[in-house]
Amino acid sequence: MSEMIVQNLSIEGSHLMRQEFLSKIEDLKALERLEQNADFKRIFKDLYGEKEAIRLTHMLADVTVTESPNREAKRHDIVERLMGIARFARFFRQVENLAMQAEKGLVELAEAEAAYYAAKEQPQEE
């Protein structure tokens, strides 16, 4: 983020940007608390994210090698369910990545604002 960005940002715009960054960081904190919850770990991490994925992978292997009239429909259903598990895990990683970017953005915003206001305080040469 450069000084130019801060110059073009209004005070309100800078405040909104900061609030958005802080919101992403709060999302990560909420996710971290959620991941520490024993029931969440049991149901979503262990049962759904791990055991269900293994079970579906085995089912996919069985369906693939078994001849049946609705083999492709079963295979498609299993693949969709596996993709759902992957999307769920990807969403968590996305929350983590957005929070890391927000932390970096907060630092850059503060540095750019400090540089901009320090430059404004410097006497102007004519």
Task: List, for residues 65-80, the tens digit of each pLDDT value.
Answer: 788 889 999 999 999 9
Please tell me the predicted confidence (pLDDT) of residue 114.
Answer: 84
Count of domains forming the chain: 1
Q: Is residue 20 part of a domain?
A: yes
**Domain range enclosing 95:** 3-113
For residue range 108-119, what is the model confidence (pLDDT) as tens digits?
888 888 887 787
Q: Is residue 121 part of a domain?
A: no
Q: Is residue 73 part of a domain?
A: yes
Please give the structure tokens belonging to residue 12.
């309100």
For residue range 11-63, what is the model confidence (pLDDT) as tens digits?
677 888 999 999 999 999 999 999 999 999 999 999 999 999 999 999 999 98
Q: Is residue 119 part of a domain?
A: no
Please give the structure tokens belonging to residue 74.
């079963």
The whole model's pTM is what? 0.75
Give exposure, 15-51, as e/b (b: 16+ Cβ within 10 Å): eebbeebeebbebbeeeeeeeeeeeeeeebeeeebee
